[in-house]
Amino acid sequence: MPMLGAILTPHPPVLLPEVGRGRERAIAATGQAMQAAAAEVAAWKPDVLIVSSPHTILYGDYFHISPGKGASGDMAAFGAPQVRLTIRYDAPLREEIVRRAEKAGLQAGTRGQRDPSLDHGVVIPLSFLRKAGVDCPIVRLGLSGFSALSHYRLGQCAAEAVKALGRRAVFVASGDLSHKLKEDGPYGFAPEGPVFDEAVTEAIQSGDFLKLLTMEPSLCERAAECGLRSFQIMAGALDGLAVKPRLLSHEGTFGVGYAVALLPVTGTDSRRRFAAACEQAQRERLAKRRAQEDPWVRLARLALETYVRTGRRLERLPGDLPGELTGRAAGTFVSLHRDGRLRGCIGTIAPTAENTAWEIVRNAVSAGTHDPRFPPVRPEELDELEYSVDVLGAPEPVEWPGQLDPKRYGVIVSCGGRRGLLLPDLDGVDTAEAQLQIARRKGGIRADEPYTIERFQVVRHL
């Protein structure tokens, strides 16, 4: 069987004794599970390891696959430069994966390398595998901002390439789970953290990889997860294969979820092909959301779709709009998301059009075509976009940060002619301090500069 199996592995630096200096004993179950998984992989005698890591170079619109003959990496950034690995790349397999990915319509390749060194998401699992006697070449995959299905398809391409070249391969899916499991953890606590960890570990234990592909994006964002896309590539690499999954450990001692799982392949199983079911689930979710859109969101969608498909802006407003849209003026923000990730957001603090409806029309087109962080929306993306429209209330001055509430109020930070604005109730922005920091950064305002603060409320339409 070309794909021998996979392991799911965390990558906490403290797991290595040279870094932990005794603290690794607090996650001893994780260390023992890593050793057990590595020993079993060694018994499989693989020719190559395919390793995906969240800390390898990541692009929003490209899967980076590390080029060259090999690479080295160490743990110097974590106080242990003596922990160092040098690996060889399986260049023929890498090129075959790239060829198949391009044929499948995925943007993937070896361009854009900024740092050839191995990241700790690779060094840590490979350290355990090396100690167990696994010293074969690897192929190193980065994640991307693409959809869950695209990550799954990259895994399929990897498995097809393995089979075509006659390799015996093991997939190493490096990734931590939620970073928000404990109040006293480095990232604090969010209720979604334990929910995310339970969902992932249950999906792994049961072998139901469709659950890895259809998790609610807002849950993942609020849980501050690390490895889900890595696990999705792994699921694709095991497409159509029977596996016997074993969850060896799961710990959250330091407030971050560490799971170790072993997934040996036991044969083939045509029922374990999840791409079509993922596509259907996505279509149903988007159709349900679109059916529930209110007039504010429907207008934003109409404005952007008209512009992208025809090159012309709306000339007339729909005749059935409520008076709240046509009878008053207000600043608005239009946000676009695709596959749970931001695809564009543009807005106005104060009204610039004769009414709120025309404000939405202008900002919807700008969000889709003039947000400098993203390329213009393409026609083929339109059906996959999710919209939200925020209608802003009047800003009011804030005398001290204690008057802020990032769930209730947006914030405007001003210094001279520079201004930074952040909307309220954003995933991952849970404190006034974080809200101010992001708003200052958006406005190019340093923390040591004098600045004024205003807050505002919004009515959010989904």
Q: Tokens representing 357? A: 């409806």
How confident is the prediction for the chain on average, in pLDDT? 95
What are φ and ψ of residue 447, in 5° steps? -65, -25
Give the CATH fold of the 3-280 domain: Protocatechuate 4,5-dioxygenase; Chain B (3.40.830)
What mean pLDDT is predicted for residues 90-97? 98
Q: Which residue would you say has higher pLDDT here, 426 or 241?
A: 241
CB 376 within 8 A of CB 408: no
Residue with structure tokens 């090396």? Answer: 130
Secondary structure (3-state) at 109? strand
Integer Cα distance of 457 and 181 in angstroms: 30
- How many helices (DSSP H) and strands (DSSP E) are in the chain? 14, 19
Query: What's the CATH superfamily of 293-389?
Result: Hypothetical protein ph0010; domain 1 (3.30.700.20)
Cα distances (Å, whole numbers) of residue 402 to 139, 415, 430, 433: 50, 20, 14, 10
What's the maximum distance between 2 C-alpha atoms anywhere in the chain? 73
Residue 403 has pLDDT above 80, yes or no: yes
Other C-beta atoms within 10 Å of 385: how many?
22
1 pLDDT more than 70: no
Residue 224 makes CB contacts below 8 A (sequence gap 6+) with 178, 179, 180, 187, 190, 193, 428
Mean pLDDT of 245-252: 98
The verdict on pTM exceeding 0.85 is yes
Residue type, 168: R
CA 221, distance to chain mean position in Å, is 8
Tell me the sheet residues that pair with 387: 336
Any idea where the domains of the chain sit in the sequence? 3-280, 293-389, 393-462
User: What residues contact 59, with CB distance under 8 A and at least 6 apart?
Assistant: 112, 142, 144, 145
Q: Which pLDDT belongs to residue 218?
A: 85
C-alpha to C-alpha distance for 361 and 376, rounded to whole angstroms: 16
Instruction: Look at residue 38 and tell me whether its pLDDT is greater than 80.
Output: yes
Tell me: the pLDDT tens digits for 182-228?
999 988 999 999 999 999 999 999 999 999 999 998 899 889 999 99
pLDDT tier at 61, thresholds 50, 70, 90: confident
Q: Find the angle CA(255)-CA(260)-CA(265) to the nearest 5 degrees.
A: 155
Query: In this structure, are residues 355 and 277 in contact, taking their beta carbons and an 8 Å threshold?
Result: no
For residue 372, what are its two tokens? Answer: 């400098």
What is the pLDDT at residue 9?
98
pLDDT exceeds 70 at position 117 = yes
* Per-residue model confidence (pLDDT) at position 428: 76
**pLDDT interval class at 339 (50, 70, 90):** confident
pLDDT at res. 217: 86
How confident is residue 149, by pLDDT bands cut at 50, 70 and 90? Answer: very high
CA distance 106 to 233: 13
Band of pLDDT at residue 426, cut at 50, 70 and 90 = confident
Mean pLDDT (whole number) for 389-408: 92
CATH of domain 393-462: 3.30.1490.150
Residues with Cβ within 8 Å of 316's Cβ and at least 6 positions away in sequence, in order, are: none
Under 8 Å between Cβ of 93 and 168: no
Contact 274, 152 (CB under 8 A): yes
